């Protein structure tokens, strides 16, 4: 039993090393003064300074943040409504809607990107920020809906019935009971949607248009023409933002608030 425990620890360490070693190397190289990051030539922050002096990168970052926040807010609203309808109305239509939400999570990104591209072309829709926004909302809704549905598992529906017996209308019930109870799940789902949106490449690559390049697509174009060391600094900042968002999301999901 003792040897099995040690073996499992070694395997766990090797797996963690396999996952995180590339990120550790990337982080170290982002502070390397070497232009190509192959040989360590001293500590520097010049790549971070240079990062904020590139107008094209800042423009792509602005597009990513704009689409990320817009798709997050829209997905939070639509996903919460979808979760409530699935929870409250037990009809065949809502079961079919639940199936569509779960099926969305299993569809490959490349298939979804191609489908959306063909859809926009069929409608003669100009590719740009709007098409990226629509595409991101399409896959973000499912994640928000599932997180909010998980929040509904701890909800006592008799509270709503009691509020209605006391004369409360639906607007009062929604604003005073449902929204406060679901808010941790809504925010957690929204942060998850924001992370997925700002980090998406495959779907965005298919539905992007001239002048609407997001940061992941721009990074891909930079890598195709070489491996500039500035990408390491940009990736480290992306990694920090992602970790912070994930930690906040996890903290919200672990809350045990009750009505």
Per residue in 199-208, pLDDT tens? 889 999 999 9
Per the domain annotation, does 208 fall within a domain? yes
Per the domain annotation, does 156 fall within a domain? yes
Per the domain annotation, does 43 fall within a domain? no
Structure tokens belonging to residue 242: 């992602």
pLDDT tens per residue across span 58-113 = 888 899 999 999 999 999 999 998 888 888 777 777 777 778 887 788 888 899 99
Per the domain annotation, does 33 fall within a domain? no
> What is the CATH number for 104?
1.10.3720.10
d(CA 245, CA 241): 6
* Average of per-residue pLDDT across 139-148: 90
Confidence of residue 167 (pLDDT cuts 50, 70, 90): confident
Per the domain annotation, does 25 fall within a domain? no
* Average of per-residue pLDDT across 14-28: 84
Nearest in space to 102 (alpha carbons), one of 64, 35, 34, 149: 149
pLDDT at residue number 78: 92
Nearest in space to 198 (alpha carbons), one of 104, 65, 74, 57: 65
Residue 18 sits at the vertex; the CA angle it makes with 12 and 24, to the nearest 5 degrees, is: 115
Per the domain annotation, does 41 fall within a domain? no
pLDDT at residue number 259: 40
213: number of Cβ within 10 Å: 22
pLDDT at residue number 1: 54
Confidence of residue 5 (pLDDT cuts 50, 70, 90): low
Helix axes 179-199, 129-152, angle to 10 degrees: 140
Per the domain annotation, does 120 fall within a domain? yes
What Rg value do the Cα atoms of the chain yield, rounded?
Answer: 22
Higher pLDDT: 26 or 3? It is: 26
Per the domain annotation, does 109 fall within a domain? yes
Higher pLDDT: 221 or 249? It is: 221
Q: Domains in the chain: how many in total? A: 1
| Domain range for 92 | 53-253
């Amino acid at each position: 039993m003792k040897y099995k425990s040690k073996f499992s620890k070694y395997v766990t360490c090797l797996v963690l090393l396999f996952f995180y070693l590339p990120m550790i190397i990337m982080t170290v190289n982002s502070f390397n003064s070497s232009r190509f990051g192959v040989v360590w030539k001293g500590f520097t922050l010049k790549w971070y300074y240079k990062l904020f002096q590139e107008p094209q990168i800042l423009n792509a970052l602005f597009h990513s943040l704009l689409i990320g926040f817009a798709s997050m807010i829209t997905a939070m609203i639509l996903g919460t409504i979808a979760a409530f309808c699935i929870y409250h109305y037990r009809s065949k239509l809502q079961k079919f809607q639940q199936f569509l939400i779960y099926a969305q999570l299993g569809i490959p990104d490349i298939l979804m990107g191609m489908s959306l591209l063909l859809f926009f072309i069929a409608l003669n829709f100009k590719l740009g920020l709007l098409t990226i926004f629509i595409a991101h909302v399409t896959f973000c809704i499912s994640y928000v809906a599932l997180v909010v549905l998980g929040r509904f598992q701890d909800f006592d529906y008799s509270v709503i019935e009691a509020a209605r017996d006391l004369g409360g209308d639906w607007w009062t019930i929604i604003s005073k009971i449902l929204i406060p109870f679901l808010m941790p799940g809504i925010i957690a789902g929204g942060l998850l949607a924001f992370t997925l949106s700002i980090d998406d490449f495959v779907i965005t690559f298919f539905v992007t248009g001239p002048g609407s390049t997001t940061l992941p697509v721009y990074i891909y174009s930079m890598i195709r023409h070489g491996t500039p060391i500035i990408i390491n600094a940009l990736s480290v900042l992306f990694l920090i933002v992602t970790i912070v968002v994930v930690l906040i999301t996890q903290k919200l999901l672990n809350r045990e608030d009750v009505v």
